[in-house]
Structure 1
C-alpha cells in the first residue's frame, strides 16, 4: 500500500497497523505537548482525559463524506486492500505509540519528557477513535471497541452519524456524533456526502439518549453559523450529555477549500453557543479559548 498518498501520510507521522489496510495511529499535538509537561487538551478539561496517555487512531481512512472543513486530503485517497483485524490493531497500539514518541524517551538527550510521564505514555488508557476517515465504515468496529474496553481502556468513538445501525451496535465509553448543519440544505453544502445521509444522522442522534454521549458542531463562518434554533432542537431531541460547539481551524488541506476568514474567533464561537442556548435547556458549562470550543450541558 505504498502509494504516494500513503507515503505522504507516513511523512506526516501516521503509523499503519498493516501493509494492506488503512488502519492507522498518530499521536496528536496535545499528546506530545502534555508528555513534555505542557498543557493538556480540552478533553482533559471537559472529561478528565490525560492527553499523554491518549491514543489517537482509526481502523480505516475510508470516509463517505467530503467535508469542506476537514483537514485531510481528499484528492489523494488511500485504497484499502483489506480490513485490519481488531486483534492486530489492539496488539499494535502500544508498539506504534512508542515508535511515534521515540524522541521523547528520557534517554534521548533532546527529550523534554520526564521518566514518569514517559512510562505513563507507554501505557495508554484512552483510545480516541477519531484520527481520520469514518470509523463506522469499518465492519468490525463493535468488536474492536469491545476488546479495547475489556483491556481497561476508555474509548471515545467519533462518528459522522451516517451509519446509525453501526452506532447502535457499538458500546464505547463515550459516543460523539458530528452535527454540522441545522437542516438538510446546509448539510449537503458543507459535508458533501456521497449520498444524502441527513435522515441517517438524525437517526444516529436519536440513539444518544441513555448512553454517555456528545454532539459536536464545527462552526464555519458564512456557511453553517445560522439557524441556532435548528441546532437547538436537534440537540434537545438527541438527549446528549454534552454539546461541543467548536470553531473550524484553517489547517491542512481545508486551506484549499476555505478561506482563512471562515475560521471564527473564540468569541464568535461562544456567541453562537449563547444564541443556541436561548432555544434549548443546554447552557455553557465550560470552554477552552485556545481550542475555540465551548462545552454545553443541561442544568
Structure 2
C-alpha cells in the first residue's frame, strides 16, 4: 500500500491559483513581477543588476509551499493558513518530480506571454528554460527534508547556472546537512529583521519556543560556511528603524559577517496589507539613509550598489571577499537588449 503524499489543501490551492501560483503537490512556483517586465524590455530585477542573474530565466519556487515556523507581519503570502508541523520524509515528493512538474507549471504560467506583441520573442523562448533557481517563494524551504537532494539535482541539470536559497534561519540543522552533503546553493540568504529578541518575536511571530536561539545558530553558520552568503534585512518603518534597534542589528550583522548585506524596504503588497499600513513602507531614500547608518558601525563593509525601483541597497564585505558577478552581464542575451 502506497503512503499518502502531502498535498496543499484544495481550499488553499484555489486561493493560490487565483493569485497565479503554479502548484504541484506541496510545492509552489510563480512568475515574478520582474520576469513579466523583462520579457517586454521594461527593466530587470535587482539580482541582475547586482549579480548578473538572468531575470527572464529565473524560476522562483518553494518545495514547502505552505509550511513555515513563523507568521511574519510583512509576509506577502497568506501565512495565516500555513502549516508548521514537520514535513514527513516518507510523504514528500521527490526532487526530480518537483522540479520537472514545476517547470511545466511555470511554462503554463508563461504561455500567455507568447502572443503578446510587446514581448521580445527571443527572451520568451529562453525564459521557458530556467537557468537560475530561487528557492524562496513561499513557506520555509529548509523544512523540506530532501532539500540537499533537491539542490544537487538542480546542479546536475545542464541549463542551471545558479541557485539561491533564502531561509528564515529556523532550521540550522538543515543548513548543516547542506554543508555536510555538499549541497550548498550558489548563494545563501539569511533573512534578518530585528536585533533584539523582543523585536524578533514582534515581527516574526515565531511558533517555535527556541526560535531566537535557532536563528543565532544559523547566523553563526553563515559566518563560516564556504558558499556565498547574504544577510537580507527588511526595513519596516515604525518597527525596526529606531536608533536602539540599529545598534543591536549591527551586532548581529557583525556576528554573521556575510559576503553581502541587502537592506530592503518592506513593500506594502499582498497579504501584508492586512497586517501593516502603507506608512510602514519606507521610501528608497529612507532605506539608503538606514544603510549608511549601518555602514558607520560596520567598518568591514562598503557600499556596492542600489536599485531605486526595488528600494534596496547592497553592501559588500571588504575583508571576506567574493567576486561580485555570478554571471557577467554581457554573457546573457539580456545584454543585447540593453537589459
Normalising by the smaller structure, the TM-score range is over 0.9
Per the normalisation by structure 1, the TM-score is 0.93
- Cα displacement string for residues 207-239 of structure 1 (whole angstroms, at most 9, x for unaligned residues): 223320100011111111132222222222212
2:42 equivalent among 38, 41, 48: 38
Segment drifting more, 202-211 vs 35-44: 202-211
Q: Does 1:140 align with 2:146?
A: yes
Aligned-pair distance for 1:5?
1.8
Q: Which residue of 2 aligns with 1:275?
A: 293
Q: Map of 1:53-202 to 2, 5 A cutoff?
A: 53-61=57-65, 62-77=67-82, 82-105=91-114, 108=115, 110-152=116-158, 153=160, 154-170=162-178, 171-195=184-208, 196-202=210-216
Deviations 1:223-272 (A, max 9, x none): 11132222222222212111001010111111111111111111111111
Structure 1 unaligned runs (5+)? none
**Backbone CA RMSD of aligned residues:** 1.7
List per-residue Cα deviations over 1:166-221 (Å, max 9, x = no partner): 11222101000011101111101110000231111111121223320100011111
Q: Which moved more, 1:93-102 or 1:155-164?
A: 93-102
* Deviation at residue 22 of structure 1 after TM alignment: 2.0
CA distance in 1, matches of 2:126, 2:9: 33
Runs of at least 5 residues in structure 2 that lack an aligned partner in the other structure: 1-7, 179-183, 319-339
Q: 1:169 to 1:216 in 2, by over 3 A?
A: same
Which residue of 2 is the match for residue 4 of structure 1? Answer: 11
Partner residue, 1:215: 231
**When the two structures are aligned, how many residues end up with a matched partner?**
293
Displacement of 1:155 after TM fit? 0.6
Instruction: Give, in angstroms, the shift of residue 95 of structure 1.
Output: 1.6
* 1:3–1:78 contact (8 Å) kept in structure 2: no
